[in-house]
A and B are shown apart, each in its own frame.
Chain A
Amino acid sequence: MENRTLYILAFLAVSVAVINLSVTYLKINDFREAFSGFAASDTGTINITVLGSVNINFIRNAIDWGTGVVYTNNSNPNATLTTRGNGQGLVVGGNWSSSGVYGLIIANNGSVNVTLNLSTDKNHTDLFGVAPSGLSALQWNITDKDSGSCAGGNLALNTFYDVNKTVSEIACTQLGSASSKNEIFLDFYIMIPADYDAAAKANLNQQVAIYANATVAP
C-alpha cells in the first residue's frame, strides 16, 4: 500500500514537471511580442547598442553645362567638356560656359564605412546618337576630395572611365565615415561629336542621372 502511494506521488511529480516545462516554454514565447522594457522596480539597467547608420549624399548634385555649339572648323571636330573637382570646368572645341561648373561631390554622412556603387541612366549614345566619327564619349572619374576617403572598387582613382548604364560600378569598396575623409569628387568628361544625331538631339535639354547607392562596407 505504501509503495502504491509512492508510485502515485511519483507519477504526479513527473506529470507536474512535464506540465511545468511545457507551460514555461509556451508562456515565455507569448511574452516575446509583448515585452515592454519597463523594469519591475524603480531602478534598473538598460544595455543599449547604438547601431551604425548609412547616409550617402550628393552635397554638390548638379553639373549644368547649359547650351553650346560644337566648333566644326577643326580637323576632328568635337567639343569636350570636363569638370575638375573644385576647379572650374574646362571647355575645348565648343562655346559652352564653364562658369560655375564643378565636379559632383559625394559624402558619406553616416556613421559607418560604406561600399559605394555608382550607376547612370544614359550612355554617350543616348546623349548624342551614334556618331560616324566615333568622337563621342561620356566618362567619369573619382578622386578623393579628402585624402584617403575612397579605397578599393573597380574604378581606379584619378582615371576617367566610360560610363556604362547597364553596369552598377563599385566605386569604392570602403568610403570612409570619419569627417576628415568621407568625401569624393565625381567628375565627368563629355566628348560631343560634331556629327552627333542633330535631328534627334539638337536643341534638346539632355540630362544624365547619376545614382549613388551605399551599403555597409564589409
Chain B
Amino acid sequence: MVSEKIIVALIVVAILLSVVSIAVTISTVNTKMIPRFSNLNLPDEDSGRVSLRISPTPEGFGAG
C-alpha cells in the first residue's frame, strides 16, 4: 500500500503548485498585460542651407 508520507507529500506539492500558479498569474498580468512603451523619443532631423555664387573678377578689380 501507498504510505501516508507520500500522500501528504503529494498534497503539499499540489498546494505549493497552486500557490505558484497564483503568483505567476499575478506577476504575468502585471508585467505583460500592461503595454510597455518602448522609448518613443526618436531622433529628429532638419536641414538648412548656405548658398552663394562667384562671378569671375577682372584682374585688379576692387572697391577702389
Contacts and interface: CB of A to CB of B under 8 A. Distances in A.
- Majority secondary structure, B binding face: mixed
A10 B10 contact: yes
Contacts of A95: 63
A104 B54 contact: no
Interface in B1-23: 1-4, 6-7, 10-11, 13-14, 17-18, 20-21
Interface in A24-64: 24-25, 28-29, 31-32, 35, 37, 49, 51-58, 60-64
Given A7-B7, A51-B41, A206-B52, A56 B46 contact: yes
A58 B47 contact: yes
Nearest to B40: A51
B55 A4 contact: no
Interface size range of chain B in the complex: 35 or more
Given A28-B28, A69-B55, A205-B51, 17 more contacts: A11-B10, A13-B14, A20-B21, A25-B24, A31-B33, A55-B44, A62-B48, A62-B51, A64-B51, A186-B48, A188-B50, A190-B52, A192-B52, A194-B57, A209-B49, A211-B47, A213-B45
Interface of A: 3-4, 6-7, 10-11, 13-14, 16-18, 20-21, 24-25, 28-29, 31-32, 35, 37, 49, 51-58, 60-74, 81, 95-96, 104, 106, 110, 112, 114, 127-128, 186, 188, 190, 192, 194, 196, 198, 201-216
